[in-house]
Amino acid sequence: MFKPQMVIFDWNGTLIDDVWLSVNAINQMLEKRQMPLTTIDYYKEIFDFPVKKYYQALGLDTDKEWDNIANEFIAGYLENLEKIKLFQDVTETIGFLKLNGIETGILSAMQHEGLNRHVKHLKIDHFFKFIQGIENYYAEGKSHLGKKLLADTGLKGENILFVGDTTHDFEVSKEIGCHTVLVSRGHNSTERLDSTGAVVINSLAELKNLIDL
């Protein structure tokens, strides 16, 4: 591929293994409303940004109870946050990048303060030049934050590799002019990721083979 000046990672589903928790949290909400539960496979087919579209696909009434839905989900998610682990290859992969002079950062649609606390809790915050989440719990997207980061850091998109796990990550990467790699073990199915035309890998360990040193 090329040697990027920086690799920007998504967080959920890219560095942390949290698909199971997202499905558990949404199923709690569906069960409370006596609605059919979802599965991990179906979740990966319909999960999208802004997440309001995803909730609507499940049949939730975002017109009448959007705030309740957003707050319920995050409460169910945060209740078991301490059970979330990094994917096993994360520390080694980021260490490899740093060893070869490549900076790293995080750009996530997770709420900013909660994101920073979680990265610190997992003891990898020292790896990153920046850790950036969104302003609220509505997970509307992060393209605007990506553009702001480029403006603040002075980096050019052509020198950045963005690594994520959803079609939204691909869209964000293209909007800010970055190269893209998508990981297929996260919140979208392999088929959906393949449909973007981006390079798709099964694990972060494969990233080392794509970077020219």
Q: How far apart are CA 128 and CA 16, in angstroms?
A: 15
Arithmetic mean of pLDDT, 37-56? 93
Q: How far apart are CA 125 and CA 105, in angstroms?
A: 10
Q: How far apart are CA 108 and CA 156, in angstroms?
A: 19
Domain end residue (candidates: 82, 107, 130):
82
Are 104 and 70 in the same domain? no
Domain end residue (candidates: 58, 82, 106):
82
> Is residue 205 exposed (0-12), middle (13-18) or buried (19+ Cβ within 10 Å)?
middle
For residue 1, tell me if it sits in a domain. Answer: no
The pLDDT of residue 116: 93
Of 40-54, 81-95, 129-143, minimum mean pLDDT range = 129-143
For residue 160, tell me if it sits in a domain. Answer: yes
Q: Which domain holds residue 116?
A: 6-16+84-210
Strands 179-183 and 199-201: parallel
Instruction: Count the domains in the chain.
Output: 2
Are 40 and 99 in the same domain? no
Are 117 and 198 in the same domain? yes
For residue 153, tell me if it sits in a domain. Answer: yes
The pLDDT of residue 212: 86
**Residue 162 sits in a domain of what CATH number?**
3.40.50.1000
pLDDT tens-digit series, residues 173-204:
999 999 999 999 999 999 999 999 999 999 99
Are 95 and 51 in the same domain? no
